[in-house]
Amino acid sequence: MTDSQKNGASSDTSQGDKIETVVLQTIQWILSKKESLGKTAQTSRLGAVTPEQRLREIDGLESLDLAELVIRLEQSFGFDPFSRGVTTPLETVADLCKVYRTFQDNSSGES
């Protein structure tokens, strides 16, 4: 493997890590906001959401919150993969991250 391939792989991994971090932080922010407004029981704790968790099973996260999540992620990443016809079933937080990674990779190649 060449140095540039190694660097590219490292860059892909760090981009993926960044996407996962932003997604998890955004979910936590939405949950924290709801807690501060008294809209959910104070059971959600920072770090409680994991990539393996099913989106529908995150305590306190409702369908309207998922819509807000997508809007905030579009603001963070500069694109909305759902407006481009995502057909992949999204069960977990990791599935959501994968969709953003896939579309970000496709977007960066279109320059």
Helix/strand/coil for 45: coil
pLDDT tens track of the chain, all 111 residues?
444 444 444 455 577 789 999 999 999 999 998 888 876 655 544 458 999 999 999 988 999 999 999 999 999 999 999 888 888 889 999 999 999 998 887 766 554
Q: Return the residue matching tokens 């306190």.
A: 60
What confidence score (pLDDT) does residue 100 get? 93
What confidence score (pLDDT) does residue 21 get? 95
User: What are the tokens at 4?
Assistant: 């540039």
**How many domains is the chain built from?**
1
What confidence score (pLDDT) does residue 62 get? 92
What confidence score (pLDDT) does residue 86 get? 84
Widest distance between CA atoms in the chain:
54
- The model's pTM is 0.76
| Count of beta carbons in the 10 Å neighbourhood of residue 108 | 9
What is the domain range of residue 98?
A: 3-108
What confidence score (pLDDT) does residue 66 get? 94
**DSSP letters spanning 23-47:** HHHHHHHHHHHHHHTTSS-TT--TT
- Tell me the CATH number at 86: 1.10.1200.10
Helix/strand/coil for 20: helix
